Chain A
């Protein structure tokens, strides 16, 4: 039975979140905090874009950092070499990266599981190599300076404008994800995640679906990367094409929960804030690598479904009255539950029963 609080709670949460994001620039005590806010929002857009592929199809890409870097470099080069206006360059760059994502996806999506991850890592490494070595075009290790789109603006104002631009992009990305989630196309993508062979046998054009969503994800990632280029104004291949960026995105999405709309956003808020904190605390020592690694290992081992689903499960346990007899579970879940009830007598009769309308799914490799 649909419950009133169930329907209004998400809307209320979205309103609070939107209000918090919009109010942040006015509340930020100094420009440094505001610029950290821009960085965190950048991560939020990237993680949400990543989740188009990772969340729907279950294909985990460690190469999305490279797509963002490509977007940044494409924007910067179009502004400096082709003299395009900044935001026209941004859109053209996103289209270019989306076009490039087609052959990339054609090669990478032919293989499943481990091979896909290998390809995504290889993408980062090869682009780093190319952008470092091709110094006559990209400036190489000296970096590429991108002129600011609003030359008259003071720095705090500059941060504020880009904060709102990122917030708008985030809203578009989240809305697109939400629409896909409810569409037939999204259903096909989730079928790929659950069991690609069965989905294909039932007539889902899996290859085309994967490719479309990969290109869409690449376009959003490139927009975010391009916006970063315009905001930050200085690009260095080592940071733009770093495997670390990709791993941050995976960590954020996993920590928040890849199957939830706001999971990557929540993950980005947590991890992004932590990263900014590590940066001020540890400076440039390599300990931030250790911190990231430990966090990633803990998330993978302890809560691969993310915090939001974990909180939701705890919430349900507190309110057992809401349960109904309608279940939506995957075969893997049922098998796991059977396995558990066979071996574990401690679990109560209500413990594992999910509430109505709550889909518990399994990410498949």
Chain B
């Protein structure tokens, strides 16, 4: 039996990690809600943002958090372009399968270019406050992990306010719920869909910066993220943001707790076990699931 302090530490770290998962899963859920697109390149963009943050710190000497000022608008634009220029050109009948392949291709291109530009060497940001931590009832919490969690919470909170309180958010939710009806009441669904994709990709920018603070990054790292993220959105029920957030917290916690008896590598299997169990027993997911049944 692990000591109480270790257990508490695992729980806290699990929740902090779950926050980051929740933010990224929210982006994936947005894409899926808007166009039934599973965006494989989401985690590749995540790593791209982490590399940009690292580059800002390494070459320009600024705090990686400042890179957000550039990456968030940049990724928003990239998301809009991605939807308007590429995904909307695919044939509707084969959209789901072909969009997976297209975003997979984009992920490969990003991974290849990152490897070409920055080489396959493992990179890590050296921060003045990188090793700072504080104690809480016998658990040690690194400050950077708390900052990453804070970023995720702020981003998710703004996303929530944007979706619930602004007219753009109404239009976006209407587009997700019923595109035809949304068009009838005068919403330019094509444009809104593009902006929705931009918003989704912006979550990858925030997530990538948060990730870069305390993680060693390398070009093929995105494969380690896409599996867990895919598992989260399936367990949460494809297309449900609260479901994805709940699944993210739960699985992040599970991963963190299982690391005590099983070690870091085997603890990752919790995502895949959850994925297969969900598909075997409840294919529509455990939390939301209204959209998933339409498949």
Contact = CB atoms under 8 A, between A and B. Distances in A.
Contacts of A285: 115-116
A297 B231 CA distance: 25
A121 B91 contact: no
Contacts of A289: 108-109, 111-112, 115
Interface string B229-265: 0110010001000000000000000000000000001
A125 interface: yes
Interface in A262-318: 285-294, 296-297, 300-301, 304
A244 B40 CA distance: 13
B109 A294 contact: yes
Contact of B96 (A125, A286, A365): A365
Contact of B91 (A106, A114, A133, A304): A304
Nearest to B277: A107
B116 A121 contact: no
A250 B101 contact: yes
A114 B295 contact: yes
Interface in A108-156: 108, 110-115, 117-119, 121-122, 125-126, 129-130, 132-133
Contacts of B226: 121, 125
Nearest to B32: A114
Nearest to A127: B272
B81 interface: no
* Chain B interface bracket (under 10, 10 to 19, 20 to 34, 35 or more): 35 or more
B116 A287 contact: yes
Contacts of B114: 286
A247 interface: yes
B292 A115 contact: yes
A328 B108 CA distance: 38
Contacts, number: 152
Chain A: interface secondary structure?
Answer: helix
A221 B268 CA distance: 27
A303 B295 CA distance: 25
B234 A243 contact: no
Given A110-B283, A122-B275, A117 B108 contact: no
Contacts of B234: 115, 118
A108 B116 CA distance: 35
Given A60-B100, A293-B106, 13 more contacts: A107-B276, A114-B32, A114-B96, A118-B234, A122-B272, A125-B227, A286-B111, A287-B116, A288-B112, A292-B108, A296-B102, A297-B106, A362-B94
24 contacts: A107-B280, A110-B283, A111-B279, A112-B295, A113-B96, A114-B32, A114-B38, A114-B96, A115-B279, A117-B38, A121-B40, A122-B227, A125-B272, A285-B116, A286-B115, A288-B112, A289-B111, A289-B115, A291-B112, A292-B108, A294-B109, A297-B102, A304-B91, A365-B94
Interface of B: 32, 36-38, 40, 86, 89-91, 93-98, 100-102, 104-109, 111-116, 120, 219, 223, 226-227, 230-231, 234, 238, 265-266, 268-269, 271-272, 275-276, 279-280, 283, 292, 295
